[in-house]
Chain A
Amino acid sequence: MRKVLAIVMAIMLAAITFAGCAKPADQSATADAAKSNGKKIFMSSAYYTAPYGAPLQQAVKDKAAELGYEIQIVDGEANADKQLSQFKTAVADGYDALIYWPGDTASTPPIVEYLNSTGLPWVALNTMVDDSILDKVPCMVCSDEVEIGRALGRLILEYFEKNPSDTKNVAYIEGSPGSSYTTHLTEGINEIIAASDVVILNDHMYSEYDPSKAMTIMDDLLTKFGDKIDLVVTQDGGMFQGAYNAISAAGKLGQFGIICQGQDLIVKEKLESGELYASVAQDPYREGSLSVEMLDKLIKGEKVEQWVVNPTGPIYKADIPNYTWF
């Protein structure tokens, strides 16, 4: 038994050593894609493992490689204190520029203050910073989340215009309580539908961007409201997938419309099949790519807009070729 344990441990230690010493994939990609300019970018991603994070981070890597930068991306685990510490480590290690994807708005002031104190060029990405320090951010690359909500709201009104019914009842599934994205989308939707006779049937139902939770919520909504539902709206493609599965399992596909936000492959597939009325664009790949573009300009001392907006708008079946899908 002791021999077995010793062998297992030896293998693990060897694996740790090799993994630790392995050259980061991003650096080799940099070497392949363009001649390195010798500068290093460090990114702390609050939502490293989120579905939206994967294409965004890939875009950051791709753009950095294209422009000749070395890049390291670490998981901030939505922990502001950890992110602050990661930036301090990166600064101690001589990184030349920084990308900050905050976990939430409220905790951004001390980190923004620290990033400014380093004197290094940096950009904020995806999540908006707190209003109190908005003017201290050299460049913020993110979507206008309220505008995405408005686009969803306009799609809701448009759907009911094209599909008239006695009632205009919406079942609405949201992301995470308190996240700026969730809050702002709901704000935008409410702003547009406020003057209409559209009714959101349910109170806040949060699936935390988890398709399986969205499926459970949709099951519950179907049980509670049944035939009263005229339209289902979800805040992203993952949640759409969960809701779609629940509707499909209940045999209710086609009995009401579905609208969502997102550019996931499932969204593309259901747009093509006509089961999804429309989606709203928020391109993570473009967002990630833009952040490195802006950072590159800051490194070169060029001027950039303080808020670079990731474009949004409705996506219908006919628009599919104009967008990237992930």
Chain B
Amino acid sequence: MKKHTLDKDYIGTFLIRNAVSMMLLVFVVAMIFTKRSFFTADNIVNIINECSVYGVTACAMTVAIICAEFDLSASSVFAWSTVLFVICCNAFGIVAAFFITLASGAVMGAFNGILVAKVRIPAFVATLGTMTAIKGLAYVVTDAQPINTSNETLYAIGQFNILGITIAPIVFALVILIFIWFLKYTRFGRNIYATGGNYEVARLSGINVEFSKFIIFVLLGVCAAISGMLYCSRIMAGWAPYGGDLSLYCVAATVIGGTSLLGGSGGVHRTIIGVLLMAVLFNALTLLGVDGSMQKFIRGLVLITVIMFDAMANLRKRV
């Protein structure tokens, strides 16, 4: 009898803990039977291509959230990167543009890192400021105009695909593997969990918590720059308003995936589920003929539902 109760508890906890994965599964199965066009190679490839550009930054945001931080300026670094990348592509060619944009992302991330880790400004305030400043810089540099490029190599990269899979999912897969290895198999990765779990305990244990916090912002800057360049490869243009929803998208994908906003737990593998769920949901709603306004409503409901599941799981843990 006791064993039966334990099994019930185990199943209940399992169901709640994996609610998002199961929601994704239920969505996919329901869509396969509802919409013939959903389970076609073209559509699946489209979903994967679509979610990969933002997915790269979502991975870095997950690491930041594990470290109990987040970065509002990721969207501005993304926009700035599209602008800088296009300007540099036109001026110096794609190779120089790649390294300059990557370095610029790292510098902007490092600046955020210094503000948060060294100057001890709360991440919300610090990144709110840099978000506005970087966006403003992008407007100033371009005189607020969208700019495009006809760089042939970039165009070729944008068009490159293997069975429809473009460069963005390949980069996304690489970033996922690197982050999983980084978090799971390096001491530094484990330090990030410790720092996010309990800052003071981690500090007293001898972990260089300031460096941990600093480096996650550098990673975020670099990943936002990579996302910006991938975006450019798809649309061949740069503009200050691009990627305005990136920061919130990344936080949402991370939370939906099951990484707690309180820090200290979660993982990039979970965020992949979050990114996929958002992309599948968006795609499914479009295929089902749901109007734009209703789509926003449903996406909001899904986010709230997932957070409720998370709250339930936490309650179970405490009981």
Do B235 and A16 touch across chains, with their CB atoms under 8 A apart? no
Chain B residues positioned under 8 Å from A74 (CB to CB): 286, 291-292, 295
Within 8 A of B (CB), among A1-46: 1-2, 5-6, 8-9, 12-13, 15-16, 19-27, 45
Chain B residues positioned under 8 Å from A109 (CB to CB): 148, 236-237
| In the complex, A75 has a CB within 8 A of chain B | yes
Q: Known: A20-B288, A106-B146, A109-B236. Is A8-B294 also a contact (CB below 8 A)?
A: no
Chain B residues positioned under 8 Å from A5 (CB to CB): 308, 311-312, 315
Q: How far is the CA of A109 from the CA of B148 in the complex (A)?
A: 9
> Quick one: closest A residue to B242, CB to CB?
A79
Q: How far is the CA of A93 from the CA of B245 in the complex (A)?
A: 26
Chain B residues positioned under 8 Å from A105 (CB to CB): 146
Do A110 and B46 touch across chains, with their CB atoms under 8 A apart? no
Q: Known: A75-B295, A107-B146, A178-B146. Is A8-B139 also a contact (CB below 8 A)?
A: no
Scoring A13, A93, A105 by chain B CB atoms within 10 A of each residue's CB, the highest score goes to A93
> Which of A80-88, A143-151, A240-248 is near enough to bind chain B?
A80-88
Do A177 and B234 touch across chains, with their CB atoms under 8 A apart? no
Least Cβ–Cβ distance between A313 and chain B, in angstroms: 28
| In the complex, A89 has a CB within 8 A of chain B | yes
| In the complex, B202 has a CB within 8 A of chain A | no
Q: Known: A2-B315, A12-B305, A19-B294. Is A89-B148 also a contact (CB below 8 A)?
A: no
> Quick one: closest B residue to A16, CB to CB?
B301
A interface footprint on B164-195 (CB within 8 Å = 1, 0 otherwise): 00000000000000000000000000000000
Q: How far is the CA of A66 from the CA of B37 in the complex (A)?
A: 27
Do A8 and B297 touch across chains, with their CB atoms under 8 A apart? no
Scoring B43, B139, B290 by chain A CB atoms within 10 A of each residue's CB, the highest score goes to B290
Do B315 and A15 touch across chains, with their CB atoms under 8 A apart? no
Q: Known: A2-B312, A94-B37. Is A107-B235 also a contact (CB below 8 A)?
A: yes
| In the complex, B144 has a CB within 8 A of chain A | yes
Q: How far is the CA of A106 from the CA of B294 in the complex (A)?
A: 29
Do B285 and A20 touch across chains, with their CB atoms under 8 A apart? yes
| In the complex, A190 has a CB within 8 A of chain B | no
Do A13 and B292 touch across chains, with their CB atoms under 8 A apart? no
Least Cβ–Cβ distance between A14 and chain B, in angstroms: 10
> Quick one: closest B residue to A82, CB to CB?
B50
On chain A, the number of residues with a Cβ less than 8 Å from chain B's Cβ atoms is 55
Chain B residues positioned under 8 Å from A84 (CB to CB): 234-235
| In the complex, B142 has a CB within 8 A of chain A | yes
Least Cβ–Cβ distance between A265 and chain B, in angstroms: 21
Q: Known: A16-B301, A84-B234. Is A110-B158 also a contact (CB below 8 A)?
A: yes
| In the complex, A195 has a CB within 8 A of chain B | no
Do A110 and B287 touch across chains, with their CB atoms under 8 A apart? no
| In the complex, A92 has a CB within 8 A of chain B | yes
| In the complex, B132 has a CB within 8 A of chain A | no
| In the complex, A210 has a CB within 8 A of chain B | no
Q: How far is the CA of A84 from the CA of B35 in the complex (A)?
A: 21
| In the complex, B231 has a CB within 8 A of chain A | yes
Q: How far is the CA of A6 from the CA of B308 in the complex (A)?
A: 9
A interface footprint on B25-51 (CB within 8 Å = 1, 0 otherwise): 000000000010100101100100110
Within 8 A of A (CB), among B230-245: 231, 234-245
Q: Which of B40, B287, B294 contacts A22 (CB 8 A)?
A: B294
| In the complex, A158 has a CB within 8 A of chain B | no
| In the complex, B18 has a CB within 8 A of chain A | no
Interface magnitude class on chain B = 35 or more
Do A72 and B286 touch across chains, with their CB atoms under 8 A apart? yes
Do B50 and A104 touch across chains, with their CB atoms under 8 A apart? no
Do A24 and B291 touch across chains, with their CB atoms under 8 A apart? yes
| In the complex, B115 has a CB within 8 A of chain A | no
Chain B residues positioned under 8 Å from A201 (CB to CB): none
Within 8 A of B (CB), among A286-325: none
| In the complex, B309 has a CB within 8 A of chain A | yes
Q: Which of B231, B240, B288, B301 contacts A15 (CB 8 A)?
A: B301
B interface footprint on A58-84 (CB within 8 Å = 1, 0 otherwise): 000000000000101111011111101
Q: Known: A8-B308, A45-B292. Is A86-B235 also a contact (CB below 8 A)?
A: no
Within 8 A of A (CB), among B52-98: 53
| In the complex, B147 has a CB within 8 A of chain A | yes
Q: How far is the CA of A318 from the CA of B228 in the complex (A)?
A: 51
Chain A residues positioned under 8 Å from B286 (CB to CB): 72, 74, 86, 89-90, 93
| In the complex, B206 has a CB within 8 A of chain A | no
Can you report 25 residue pairs joining A to B where beta carbons are below 8 Å apart?
A: A2-B315, A5-B315, A8-B308, A9-B309, A12-B304, A16-B298, A20-B285, A21-B288, A48-B293, A72-B286, A75-B295, A81-B53, A81-B235, A85-B49, A92-B42, A92-B46, A93-B37, A106-B237, A106-B239, A107-B237, A110-B158, A177-B144, A178-B139, A178-B142, A178-B240
